[in-house]
Amino acid sequence: MACLLDTSILIDAERDAQVLDRLDDEETQLISVITASELLHGVHRANDSTRRGRREAFVEQMLGAFDVIPITLEVARIHASIGARLASSGDVIGPHDLWIAATAISHGLRVATTNAREFERVPGLDLLAL
């Protein structure tokens, strides 16, 4: 099975590259366009040019290393369904995490995250908590 990496994995990997060693080398690893956006947002938020340069280099390396899955109409349909279901039960999750979860479900992927508490609320989501 292929694995969709949550942004939390890559943020942790920026600080400690060994985080990625905890992933199964046999599994294809992908990221969502939402993760790409979150990482790029972090580049723009860096508070000095040195940090921005280091962060940009890391993010560009990650964007080159992993295929990026776009948002499609099918992902949007799943996103809307899951979001409505979670809102009805009072178990709302962050909007970016909801897009990542919908992308994973749409493509039959497992989500690897260090933020399992958020993703555990999504029914039917295959989760790899690191």
Structural contact between residues 23 and 43, judged by C-beta atoms closer than 8 angstroms: no
To the question of pTM greater than 0.85 for the whole model, the response is: yes
Return the pLDDT at 117: 95
pLDDT digits (tens, 9 = 90+) for 106-128: 999 999 999 999 999 999 999 99
Cα–Cα dist 9/63, whole Å: 14
Q: How many Cα atoms within 13 Å fall on the side-chain side of residue 20?
A: 17
pLDDT digits (tens, 9 = 90+) for 12-70: 999 998 898 899 888 999 999 999 999 999 999 999 999 999 999 999 999 999 999 99
Return the pLDDT at 57: 97
Return the pLDDT at 53: 97
Structural contact between residues 106 and 98, judged by C-beta atoms closer than 8 angstroms: no
Selected from 3.40.50.10420, 2.40.50.180, 3.40.50.2300, 3.40.50.1010, the CATH number assigned to the domain covering 7-129 reads: 3.40.50.1010
pLDDT digits (tens, 9 = 90+) for 75-107: 999 999 999 999 999 999 999 999 999 999 999
